[in-house]
Amino acid sequence: MLMAVSGFLMLATIMYFLFRGRTIPVVVFITVPVLAAFLAGFSVEEVVSFIQFGIKKTSKMAVLFIFSVTFFGIMSDAGMFDGLVNKLVSKAGTNVVAVAVATAIIGIFSHLDGATVTTVLVTVPAMLPVYQKLNIRPHLLLLIVGCGMGVMNLLPWGGPVARAAVVLGTDPTTLWRHMIPLQIMGIFATLGLAVVMAIHEKKYHNAGRIDLVVNEASGELEAKAENEEALKLKRYDRTWVNLGMTVILLGVLLADIFPTYFTFMIGVCAALLVNYPDVQEQKRRMKAHAPAALDVASVMLAAGIMVGILGKSGMLEAMTVPLLEVIPGPIAHFLHIIMGIIALPLGTMLGTDSYFYGLLPLAIKVGENYGITGLTMAIAMTVGKNLSLLISPLVPATYLGIGLTNIELKDHIRYSFFGLWAVGLIMFAFAWVIGMF
């Protein structure tokens, strides 16, 4: 009982501080879980082992973030995206809706490999300059990418589906076949969300207004002059070389030839040597991107402490038991409906492993006592969890996304939460209408 109370207090405290912005995530993720572990009665040695476990799980990802953020930062300095940005802006003009729909399509197709980090790395650096040019808040970019990612992660090789299949003791492809109609509906819902939110951004936040100044001598509109220092860093004569390097890097990532973090380490070296052969300029480029890179990595390492304590202490299992036991009998008959509706909020707070290996088996066990099949429960709980991927503080790609767009975690969650939940509920309602429940 003490472990369950400690766990609930820990999650409530963490979410309070994150949403209220009382302190930075690093402080919350390090101090609160450690205090909760001691409150639950664990010894110093046990807490240390939990911390080591968690750090081990996230350290490679932290290295990946340092070098991936630095790589795309260097490419942006060199002007690799400038040509693409100008072409997209000229095609779309000030059509914010067209840009949002294009983002949704790119996000959906780029997640065919099921890798969340790769999807963020493919879509965000390429589209972010377009959003900046059109004065669209980057929050919309992350929302659309996260939604497309969540829908496409229902594929058999997606991590959540694979985990749910393990719990059910079935093949992931078999589980996916049941969810194909939901995935199709999710794609349309993602496009719809992009349109609605783009109209909202245009109406209430001046999206689509390109910053222009009037040339008093000629009376013509001219784009604001770029910073002279930034112009000195541009390497437009090497744009195709940089694009080639980026394509090769992404190809190596998709082929899974080397560890992801090592691929980006090599990528940073190549980017520096090709664009800035001068040693002093190489040092300046690394220092310029160090704050963003280290900020993302430090949060990831700190989150590892929370993941380790939740995953290794047994605290999560202790928390789920009373949650399911307090459900009254009449309501328990609709447990799959309840779990499906609250799947996204739960998925935001719980890690993927904790959710599918901790909560889902218990929910299935309870549901079977009331005539709810394991397959029904798994489908109901998987949809919402998938859509929470890019707003969960426990998912590494979340920190990569907010790091690349320079958005606060709490602001990102506030902006995206209800839009993603709405898409999840639409998919859930559709499943109900076609008789899946």
- The answer as to whether 249 is a domain residue is yes
Per the structure, the count of domains in the chain is: 1
Specify if 30 maps to a domain: no
Structural domain contains residue 8: no
What one-character-per-residue DSSP string does 314-330 give?
A: SHHHHHHHHHHHTS-HH
Of 83-87, 121-125, 220-224, 354-358, highest mean pLDDT: 121-125
List phi, psi (to 5°) of 260. -55, -45
d(CA 377, CA 368): 9
- The SS3 assignment for 406 reads coil
Q: Does 362 map to a domain?
A: no
Q: What tens digit of pLDDT does each residue of 276-330 get?
A: 999 999 999 999 888 878 877 888 788 888 878 887 888 877 776 776 677 776 7
Contact 7, 37 (CB under 8 A): no
Query: Is 373 contained in some domain?
Result: no
How far apart are the C-alpha atoms of 103 and 96, rounded to whole Å?
Answer: 11
Show the tokens assigned to 135: 């004065």
18 lies in some domain: no
Quick one: pLDDT at residue 93?
Answer: 64
Report whether 199 contacts 97 (CB < 8 A).
Answer: yes
Whose CA is closest to 389, among 119, 28, 189, 147?
147
Q: Would residue 32 count as lying in a domain? A: no
- With a threshold of 0.85, does the pTM exceed it? no
Q: Which domain holds residue 130?
A: 60-167+174-299
| Cα-based torsion angle of the residue sequence 124, 129, 134, 138 in order, rounded to the nearest 10 degrees | 40
- Give me the pLDDT at residue 217, please: 42
288 within domain boundaries: yes
